[in-house]
C-alpha cells in the first residue's frame, strides 16, 4: 500500500517530511574497486580495457574489434523493422528540433566608458556518451544524450556500450547512427569511463562524459570529474501528478505506473484536491498491477514509495510540489497554465491530461535526462548547454582604461595585490605621461 496523506490531518507535516526524506537508494560502496580499475586503464590502456571486458562482459576483444565497424553497424541496423525505425526517426527529428532552439547566442557591446564587453559560446571538442547494456539499454537515451551534443557542435562524439556475451541492441546502434555519433565502442563499466577520460592507444580522450549507468559507472564519473566534465549523477526516477477529479483514474494510474515500472526505487506521487478521486486512482493502480508485465518492480515501487496526498486546494498542491521539486510534474487540472506558474521547482512540466509523461520520455522533444532527488531546486535537465562553454570577452581602449583603471588600482591596493595594481598603473603612466 502506498502512503495516504491529507493536509488537514494533524500529523501531516511529519508524515510529509518523512516522505521527502525517505532514502530510496542504497548506493553500494564501489569506490575502491573503481579507483583500481581507473588506475589500471590509465597505466595499461587497451590491455586493461580488454582484460576487464573479458572478465565482466565475457567478451574477447582486440584493439581492432573494440569499435563497431561500419559494416557491423550497417548489418545490425538493417535488422530493425520499418516501424521501429520510423518511430525512432520521428523521435530524433523532434528532439533535434527542440534542442536546436536551445542554442544560446553570444553577445558583444560597447559601454559608456568605451569598453567592449561580451561573451561567446563554443562547443566542447570531444564528448563521450555512456550507454548501459543489457536490459537497461534504451535507444531513447542515446537520442537524448547524443542529439544535444551534435546540435551544440561537438566535433567528435564517442559512445561506449557494453555488449555482454557479444549481444548488441540494434536499436541502440540505429539511434547512434541517427544522432550522428562518430565512434561506438563495445566496452562498459568503470573501464569504459576511464578509457574516455584518459584515453588508450585506441580510444582518444574526450572532454566531457554524459549518460546513465550503474553504481560502478556513477562512481567512475565522480572520480574522473575535473579531468573531464560530467553530467549529473542521476538517481531513481520520480513523478508527481497533480490531478483534479475531472480525470480518468485509469489514465492517472498508468502515468504513476510508468515511473514505478522503471525501478523498485522509483517514486510516484499523486496530489489531488478530491479524496475520493485519490481512492479511485489507487484502486486503478491495483487493478493495472494485476496484469502489468513489470508488476513486480512497479508494485514494489508503488508499495514502498508511492503516495496519495489530498489537499484543500491547488495552491496547497503547488506549495507541496515546490517542496518536492519533482523530476517530472504532470498538471492534470482544468487550468494547467495557471498552476504551472506556481510550481516553480521541477525538471519538466507536462500540462493537461493529454500530455502523459511517457510522451516526454520519447517523442515530445524536450530532454528526458532530468534532475532527480529534489535537485530541480538548483539544477536543470540535459541540454545543448551541457556541451557548450562560455568565454567572456573584454577589450579596453586607452580612454576606457583611463576611466575605470583607477578603481582597479584602488581595489588591488585594498587587497594587497601590488602587481595587479601596477599592471594598470604602468599603462596609465604611459597614457598620462
DSSP β-bridge partners for residue 351: 331
For residue 91, the minimal CB distance to a copy of itself (Å) is: 6
Instruction: Please pick, among 238, 261, 327, 357, the residue that the annotation labels catalytic.
Output: 327
Residue 338 near a copy of itself by CB under 8 A? no
CA distance 416 to 135: 60
Identity of the residue, 310 or 353, whose beta carbon is nearer to a copy of itself in the bound complex: 353
- Strand 183-185, strand 238-243: pairing: unpaired
Which residue stretch of 61-69, 156-164, 272-280, 421-429 sits at the interface with a copy of itself (rule: CB under 8 A)? Answer: 421-429
Own/partner long-range contacts of 152-155 (Cβ < 8 Å, ≥24 apart): 152/103, 152/123, 152/124, 152/384, 152/385, 152/386, 152/387, 152/388, 153/122, 153/123, 153/387, 153/388, 154/123, 154/124, 154/125, 154/126, 154/127, 154/387, 155/123, 155/125, 155/126
What's the closest the beta carbon of residue 13 comes to a copy of itself, in angstroms? 16
Ranges within 278-307 binding a copy of itself (CB under 8 A): 288, 292-294, 298
- Cα angle vertex 189, ends 137, 123, to 5°? 80
Q: Which helix (H) or strand (E) holds 32?
A: helix 31-44
Shorter beta-carbon distance to a copy of itself: residue 61 or 243? 243
Select 57 or 357, whichever has its Cβ closest to a copy of itself.
357
Q: Cell 542504497 maps to which residue?
A: 26
Output the smallest distance, CB 324 to a copy of itself, in A: 14
Q: Which of 46/84 has CB closer to a copy of itself?
A: 84
Q: Does 57 bind a copy of itself (CB under 8 A)?
A: no
Stretch touching a copy of itself by CB under 8 A, among 55-63, 178-186, 211-219, 259-267: 259-267
Find the binding residues for a copy of itself in span 197-236 (CB under 8 A): 207-208, 226, 228-229, 233
Choose the catalytic residue: 328, 330, 357, 368.
328
> Annotated binding residues for substrate, as ranges?
237, 259, 262, 328, 361, 415, 420
At how many degrees (to 10) do helices 31-44 and 189-198 cross? 50
Q: Collapsing DSSP states into helix, strand and coil, what is residue 350? A: strand
Span interacting with a copy of itself, options 6-14, 189-197, 269-277, 424-432, rule CB under 8 A: 424-432
User: Is 261 one of the catalytic residues?
Assistant: no
Q: Which is nearer to a copy of itself, 149 or 190 (CB)?
A: 149
List of residues 6+ apart from 116 with CB closer than 8 A:
108, 109, 110, 393, 394, 395
Selected from 107, 246, 286, 315, the binder of a copy of itself by CB under 8 A is 107
Residues placed in the known binding site for Zn(2+): 259, 262, 361, 420
- Using an 8 Å Cβ cutoff, are 194 and 205 in contact? no
In the complex, least distance from residue 150 CB atom to a copy of itself, rounded to whole angstroms = 16
Q: By CB under 8 A, name the one of 16, 130, 251, 305 that touches a copy of itself.
A: 251
Residues numbered 354 to 413 that lie near a copy of itself (CB under 8 A) are 354-367, 370-371, 373, 375-381, 383, 385, 389-398, 400-401, 404-408, 410-412
Residue 323 interacting with a copy of itself (CB under 8 A): no
- Binding a copy of itself (rule: CB under 8 A), the pick from 290, 416, 432, 433 is 416
Q: Binder to a copy of itself among 41, 88, 168, 193 (CB under 8 A)?
A: 88
- Residue 65 makes contact with a copy of itself by CB under 8 A: no
The least distance separating a copy of itself from the CB of residue 124, rounded to whole angstroms, comes to 5
| CA 142/CA 149 separation, integer angstroms | 11
Q: Is 275 in the site for a copy of itself (CB under 8 A)?
A: no
Element (H, E) at 159: strand 156-160
Q: Closest Cα partner for 302 from 284, 320, 323, 277?
A: 284
Rule CB under 8 A: say whether 102 interacts with a copy of itself: yes
Helix ranges (DSSP H) in 187-260: 189-198, 215-224, 249-260
Based on the residue annotation, tell me whether 99 is a catalytic residue of this protein.
no
Note whether 326 and 346 are within 8 A (CB). Answer: yes
Q: How far is CA 291 from CA 269, 323, 351, in A?
A: 21, 34, 28
Positions in 154-193 near a copy of itself (CB under 8 A): 171
Please, where are the H alpha helices in 184-232?
189-198, 215-224
Residue with cell 556513477: 218
Annotated catalytic sites, by residue? Answer: 327-328
Amino acid at each position: 500500500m502506498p502512503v495516504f496523506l491529507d493536509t488537514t490531518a494533524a500529523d501531516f507535516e511529519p508524515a510529509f517530511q518523512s516522505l521527502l526524506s525517505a532514502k530510496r537508494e542504497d548506493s553500494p560502496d564501489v569506490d575502491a574497486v573503481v579507483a583500481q580499475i581507473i588506475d589500471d586503464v590509465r597505466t595499461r590502456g587497451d590491455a586493461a580495457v580488454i582484460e576487464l571486458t573479458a572478465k565482466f562482459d565475457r567478451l574477447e576483444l582486440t584493439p581492432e574489434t573494440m569499435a563497431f565497424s561500419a559494416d557491423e553497424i550497417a548489418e545490425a541496423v538493417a535488422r530493425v523493422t520499418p516501424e521501429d525505425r520510423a518511430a525512432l526517426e520521428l523521435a530524433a527529428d523532434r528532439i533535434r528540433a527542440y534542442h536546436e532552439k536551445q542554442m544560446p547566442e553570444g553577445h558583444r557591446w560597447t559601454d559608456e566608458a568605451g569598453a567592449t564587453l561580451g561573451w561567446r559560446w563554443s562547443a566542447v571538442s570531444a564528448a563521450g556518451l555512456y550507454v548501459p547494456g543489457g536490459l537497461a539499454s534504451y535507444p531513447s537515451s542515446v537520442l537524448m544524450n547524443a542529439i544535444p551534443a551534435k546540435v551544440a557542435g561537438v566535433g567528435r562524439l564517442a559512445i561506449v556500450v557494453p555488449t555482454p556475451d557479444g549481444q548488441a541492441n540494434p536499436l541502440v546502434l540505429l539511434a547512434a547512427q541517427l544522432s550522428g555519433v562518430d565512434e561506438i565502442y563495445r566496452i562498459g563499466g568503470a573501464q569504459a569511463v576511464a578509457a574516455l577520460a584518459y584515453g588508450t592507444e585506441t580510444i582518444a580522450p574526450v572532454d566531457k562524459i554524459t549518460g546513465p549507468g550503474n553504481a560502478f559507472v556513477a562512481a567512475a564519473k565522480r572520480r574522473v570529474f575535473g579531468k573531464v566534465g560530467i553530467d549529473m549523477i542521476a538517481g531513481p526516477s520520480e513523478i508527481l501528478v497533480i490531478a483534479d477529479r475531472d480525470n480518468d483514474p485509469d489514465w492517472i494510474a498508468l502515468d504513476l505506473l510508468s515511473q514505478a515500472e522503471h525501478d523498485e526505487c522509483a517514486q510516484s506521487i499523486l496530489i489531488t484536491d478530491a479524496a475520493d478521486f485519490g481512492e479511485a486512482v489507487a484502486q486503478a493502480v491495483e487493478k493495472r498491477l494485476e496484469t502489468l508485465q513489470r508488476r513486480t518492480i512497479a508494485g514494489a515501487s508503488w508499495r514502498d514509495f508511492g503516495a496519495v496526498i489530498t489537499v484543500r486546494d491547488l495552491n496547497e498542491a503547488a506549495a507541496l510540489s515546490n517542496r518536492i521539486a519533482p523530476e517530472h510534474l504532470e498538471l492534470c487540472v482544468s487550468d494547467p497554465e495557471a498552476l504551472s506558474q506556481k510550481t516553480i521547482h521541477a525538471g519538466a512540466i507536462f500540462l493537461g491530461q493529454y500530455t502523459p509523461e511517457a510522451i516526454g520520455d520519447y517523442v515530445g522533444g524536450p530532454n528526458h535526462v532530468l534532475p532527480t532527488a529534489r535537485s530541480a531546486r538548483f539544477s536543470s535537465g540535459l541540454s545543448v548547454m551541457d556541451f557548450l562553454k562560455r568565454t567572456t570577452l573584454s577589450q579596453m581602449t586607452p580612454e576606457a582604461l583611463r576611466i575605470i583603471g583607477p578603481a582597479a588600482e584602488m581595489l588591488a591596493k585594498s587587497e594587497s595585490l601590488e602587481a595587479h595594481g601596477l599592471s594598470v598603473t604602468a599603462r596609465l603612466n604611459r597614457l598620462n605621461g
